[in-house]
């Protein structure tokens, strides 16, 4: 599996939080293969897998089930570097989110942000595309994004709901304090639900001139090889499928390449976008049927079908052994 990377800014305040729970942060870093030197700069590219493992180990050893969420409390827009400053200088929340979606991989290659406006409410979905992603890294990502939204919308703003795919902890006091809105666990997404009107909220401190300057500071997308393309397309299909947005055009835009480039790289690995989409759907269908917790209508929606009839036709013809 191709490695993804994250800026070392992700470890801001980690040493202090670890020590406050009786942990040795340097020892934990070495345990996941990271040098203590990564704490000296915010702009080093370090393996996302190591950071995600670090959070899970710290939570387990400390006995603090909300370790990732407590780390999220320390997050500021400046943690994102030029990306955070650029988002702050967009005219509206919608534009700020579009910028974060477009450039989020420059800060964290393992994180996908998606805005879904297909229903009566706006949904921000967060997906961590790494096998080591667990409760702590997911809650850190959701909690940090929530804090960023409150920078734009004001400290009094609350989401309609915050959702997690994992089960809720025995004690949700930290979650209630940080989010201050209804919490939903064991859901089909990690993210938050908000009023569509929030997206058109002007950002009071926006400075378009500075925004253009920060855009120039963003690093360019690194070259993408054929194996990396297959991996990224698979992960993006998995992340976008529940919102019905697992389309080649959408994925090409998120990867900042054109459709022909993706097609060429997939062809070099003897596959295609259609084949990857089909494989992912079949695998998920088998998983959902084994779980037995979803109705067919729900499964169809999770697989990206717009109607139960379309799902039934696919299930009858395309997924037949």
Structural domains of the chain, with CATH: 64-200 (no CATH), 226-317 (1.10.10.60)
Q: What are the residues whose beta carbons fall under 8 Å from the beta carbon of 294, sequence distance 6 or more?
A: 288, 302
Q: Do the Cβ atoms of 45 and 7 come closer than 8 Å?
A: yes
Q: What distance in Å separates the CA atoms of residue 318 and residue 220, rounded to the nearest whole number?
A: 40
Q: Quote the pTM value.
A: 0.75
The encoded tokens of residue 66 equal: 């909300």
pLDDT for res 43: 82
pLDDT in tens, the chain (321 residues): 346 889 999 999 999 999 999 999 999 999 998 888 888 888 888 889 999 999 999 999 999 999 999 999 999 988 988 888 888 889 999 999 998 988 888 888 889 899 999 889 999 999 988 878 899 999 999 999 999 999 999 999 999 999 999 999 999 999 999 999 999 999 999 999 999 999 999 998 787 766 765 666 565 554 445 667 787 787 778 767 777 888 898 888 777 688 999 999 999 888 999 999 998 888 888 877 887 878 889 888 888 888 899 999 998 876 544
pLDDT for res 2: 45
Indicate the burial class of 34 (C-beta count within 10 angstroms; 0-12, 13-18, 19 or more).
buried
Q: What distance in Å separates the CA atoms of residue 179 and residue 184, rounded to the nearest whole number?
A: 12
Q: In terms of C-beta distances under 8 Å and separation of at least 24 residues, what long-range contacts does 271-280 make, across chains too?
A: 271/230, 273/233, 273/248, 276/230, 276/233, 276/234, 276/237, 277/237, 277/246, 278/318, 280/234, 280/237, 280/238, 280/241, 280/246
pLDDT for res 222: 47
The encoded tokens of residue 282 equal: 């079949």
Tens-digit pLDDT profile for residues 249-283: 888 877 768 899 999 999 988 899 999 999 888 88
The strand pairing partners of 113, in sequence order, are: 126
H or E stretch covering 112: strand 111-116
pLDDT for res 1: 38
Cα radius of gyration (the chain): 20
Largest CA distance in the chain: 58
pLDDT for res 274: 93
pLDDT for res 223: 43
């Amino acid at each position: 599996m191709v490695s993804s990377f994250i800026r070392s800014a992700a470890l801001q305040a980690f040493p202090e939080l670890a020590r406050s729970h009786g942990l040795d942060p340097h020892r934990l870093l070495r345990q996941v293969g990271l040098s203590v030197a990564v704490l000296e700069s915010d702009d080093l590219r370090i393996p996302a897998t190591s950071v995600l493992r670090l959070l899970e180990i710290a939570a387990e050893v400390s006995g603090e089930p909300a370790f990732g969420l407590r780390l999220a409390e320390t997050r500021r827009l400046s943690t994102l570097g030029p990306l955070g400053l650029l988002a702050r200088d967009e005219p509206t929340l919608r534009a700020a989110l579009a910028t974060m979606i477009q450039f989020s991989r420059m800060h964290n290659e393992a994180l996908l942000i998606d805005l879904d406006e297909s229903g009566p409410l706006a949904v921000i979905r967060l997906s961590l595309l790494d096998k080591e992603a667990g409760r702590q890294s997911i809650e850190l990502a959701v909690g940090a994004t929530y804090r960023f939204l409150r920078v734009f919308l004001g400290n009094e703003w609350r989401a309609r709901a915050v959702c997690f795919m994992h089960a809720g902890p025995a004690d949700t006091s930290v979650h209630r304090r940080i989010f201050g809105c209804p919490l939903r666990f064991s859901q089909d997404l990690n993210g938050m639900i908000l009023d569509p009107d929030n997206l058109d909220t002007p950002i009071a401190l926006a400075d378009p001139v500075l925004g253009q300057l920060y855009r120039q500071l963003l690093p360019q997308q690194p070259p993408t090889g054929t194996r990396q393309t297959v991996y990224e397309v698979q992960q993006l299909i998995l992340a976008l499928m529940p919102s019905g947005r697992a389309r080649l055009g959408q994925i090409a835009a998120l990867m900042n390449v054109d459709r022909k480039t993706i097609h060429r790289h997939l062809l070099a690995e003897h596959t295609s976008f259609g084949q990857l989409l089909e494989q992912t759907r079949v695998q998920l269908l088998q998983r959902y049927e084994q779980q037995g917790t979803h109705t067919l209508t729900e499964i169809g929606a999770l697989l990206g079908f717009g109607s139960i009839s379309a799902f039934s036709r696919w299930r009858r013809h395309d997924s037949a052994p």
